[in-house]
Amino acid sequence: MRAAHAAGRSVYGYNRSGGPVAAAQADGYDVSSDLGAVLSRAQADGALLVVAVPMPAVNTVLQAIATTARDCPLTDVVSVKGPVADLVRDHGLDGRYVGGHPMAGTAESGWAAGFAELFKGATWVVSADEGRDPVVWTEVARLALDCGAAVIPAESREHDDAAARISHLPHLFAETLALSGVRGGDLTLALAAGSFRDGTRVAGTSPALVDAMCEANAAALLRVLDEALETLAAARTALAGGSTSELTKSGFAAHQKYLGRGGRPSITGIVPGDHEWLARLRDAGRRGEALLTLPREIS
């Protein structure tokens, strides 16, 4: 909300909790705890709805949207895409929906944790599943760009596999590392420095939020976790034989590949609504390309 407002967009919103509503209102934002009233207003305005709640609350919010504001274009910023898309279809809202996931955030949560520059330079996934409406897709992409992010198009299930690898698995590892440190006792914690701090940073995230995203993406996360456990098991076997070099060399090379990506290649020449535009966007996203501006024809 802060980022969209800073970009000059008209914004208003809902939160079920009185504390965040009061805090947002104190900062001058138009926020209410009356979901029905907010959705009725959005329906009258034809506003773009952005669902920004934990996964366990998505179904309830979508049910309210289906009742009160089903004609509005719809997106979300939930950390999984496939399960949200399934619920959207269940509520008959698929024709006006394009999923989204900004890859930005902090370990903190709540109204106070947000700031207008949160998405500056970040990546914002915009779903490129078959059947997306080009007008709605453009509106969602424009929101991401207005907030300062670069848009990477992706199919929902492919997004969920990627998120399991670079977001959800790191949360599980961070929790595991934190537990390892505590089990070592006070001396261990007194010696902990940068590598432990950095490796456990996201363990400071609200457990309920971590549970919501990991459990919602369980199918993909289980596959990735099994893969990681196989890597660790192989490393243990090698260490018992006196060496860690296979893991360290391959891990170093993988990290160098990550660091060496450089700038984002730009997507050009794909106009939403053109022939096979979604397939072309998906292919571009698989190559790591990003949309940095909207094509002139749909600006």
Q: Which of the 8 DSSP states describes residue 290?
A: B
β-sheet with 100-103: strand ranges across:
100-103, 123-127, 150-154
Rounded Cα–Cα distance for residues 242 and 224 (Å): 27
Q: Are 85 and 130 in contact (CB under 8 A)?
A: no
Provide the pLDDT for residue 116: 87
Provide the pLDDT for residue 114: 80
Q: Which of 35, 85, 41, 27 is nearest to 61 (CA)?
A: 35
Provide the pLDDT for residue 108: 67
Q: Look at the alpha carbons of 278, 80, 165, 223 in this order and tell me if their dihedral is positive or negative.
A: negative
Half-sphere exposure of 234 (CA within 13 A, CB side): 11
Q: What is the pLDDT tens value at each position of the chain, 299 positions in all?
A: 999 999 999 999 999 888 889 999 999 999 999 999 999 999 999 999 999 998 999 999 999 999 999 999 999 999 999 999 999 999 999 999 999 999 987 666 678 778 889 999 999 999 999 999 999 999 999 999 999 999 999 999 999 999 999 999 999 999 999 999 999 999 999 999 999 999 999 999 999 989 999 999 999 999 999 999 999 999 999 999 999 999 999 999 999 999 998 788 999 999 999 999 999 999 999 999 999 999 765 54
Strands 123-127 and 150-154: parallel
Provide the pLDDT for residue 297: 54
Q: Are 281 and 270 in contact (CB under 8 A)?
A: yes
DSSP 95-120: GGB--EEEE---S--SGGG--TTTTT
Provide the pLDDT for residue 105: 72
Task: Name the 3-class secondary structure at 266.
Answer: strand
Q: Are 213 and 55 in contact (CB under 8 A)?
A: yes
Q: Which of the 8 DSSP states describes residue 279?
A: H
DSSP 172-223: HHHHHHHHHHHHT-HHHHHH--HHHHHHTGGGGS-HHHHHHHHHHTHHHHHH
Rounded Cα–Cα distance for residues 237 and 43 (Å): 60
Provide the pLDDT for residue 299: 45
Q: Are 278 and 132 in contact (CB under 8 A)?
A: yes
Ramachandran angles phi, psi of 100, nearest 5°: -150, 155
Residues 6+ apart with CB under 8 A from 260: none
Beta strands in the chain (DSSP E): 13-14, 31-32, 49-51, 74-76, 100-103, 123-127, 150-154
Residues 6+ apart with CB under 8 A from 270: 277, 280, 281, 284, 295
Task: Name the 3-class secondary structure at 9.
Answer: coil
Q: Which of 97, 154, 92, 82 is nearest to 131 (CA)?
A: 97
Work out the end-to-end distance of the chain between its first and last CA atoms, rounded to an integer number of angstroms: 22
Residues 6+ apart with CB under 8 A from 218: none
Rounded Cα–Cα distance for residues 20 and 22 (Å): 5
